[in-house]
Structure 1
Amino acid sequence: MLELVVARLEAEIAELAHRIDGAAEFTRMMETKTLPSGGVRAYVLPTGIRGQRGDAVTGAFTQPITRTIAVVLLTRSVDAAGERALSRLGAFVDEIIATLAGWAPSDEVGVFELRQASIIPTEHGLLGYQIEFSINDQLRIFS
């Protein structure tokens, strides 16, 4: 599912084309403290799955679940490209919300809904912003 989210963001928001990474790259950046340069960098991360009451019948198990993802934006607030990104942060966040809210990447039961969006703590001249979405889905296990 995350690959489809990345593809949609890159297709719909030109500023994010070839500037989105996943959890491995995010972890590497945090461990090495290598700062993104040249404007905004985005990371699409799975942030959790919450299950509800399941139902088991002979040969099948189904359970409603809610998957949550985050789009984390990072930009250096001390370079020219970063300053340009900061100047339009509100509009940029609104573009991401409009691109994902109400959309489903495949056969999920629901569509993405906005959960929350806020500035997150960062260091070393970075500005971080996290936008969280959730989508209802269903586990289907057949034996």
Structure 2
Amino acid sequence: MQVAPVKARLEAEVPALRHRVETASGLSDVIRNRAAPQQTPAAFVVPLGLQGGAASVQVNAFRQDVVDLVGVVLFVRGGSRTGDRALAEVDVLIREIIQSLIAWAPDGEPGVFVLQRANIISFAEGVLIYQIDFRINDELRKTA
């Protein structure tokens, strides 16, 4: 899973998110409390799972392509009920997040991150929640 390196990368590369990036446990707290983070913008890096791809078996060796999926969930508090300020702010953040992660690979990884999708999750009570999903190719190997 790529959560820790993505969290570190966002904190280092996106100025508005320095000291404001958490993992799935932090998002779980937000959901349980039914309240947005105290300070926004805030981001949560969550593992979205693995997708298996083509596999090959040779004498005493197995290899399978794997895609590791990671999501970045943003919370941005709007300055008004319409959220105009939040929409402008989130547009800048989305671009900064995408630029910080695309074509980058954590140490030792064979693939690089690419954008999978991005969309609004919710806009309620002046808080915009937006999710950006990334994928990185990897592989599984096993020898007998």
Map of 2:14 onto structure 1: 13
Map of 1:29 onto structure 2: 30
Q: CA offsets per residue over residues 76-104 of structure 1, 9 Å max, x none?
A: 3358xx97554322121101000000101
**1:123, CA displacement in angstroms?**
4.3
RMSD: 2.1
Map of 1:131 onto structure 2: 132
Identity %: 38
Q: Distance in 2 between matches of 1:55 and 1:71?
A: 32
Q: CA offsets per residue over residues 90-125 of structure 1, 9 Å max, x none?
A: 121101000000101122221111111111125443
**Residues 1-143 of structure 1 correspond to what in structure 2 (within 5 A)?**
1-77=2-78, 85-121=86-122, 123-143=124-144
TM-score by length of 2: 0.86
The alignment of Structure 1 onto Structure 2 pairs a total of residues equal to 141
Q: What SS class does the counterpart of residue 19 from structure 2 fall into? A: coil
- Counterpart residue identity of residue 39, structure 2: G
TM-score by length of 1: 0.86
**1:60, CA displacement in angstroms?**
2.8
- Counterpart residue identity of residue 73, structure 2: V
Q: Distance in 2 between matches of 1:40 and 1:58?
A: 52
Gapped regions of structure 2 (runs ≥ 5)? none
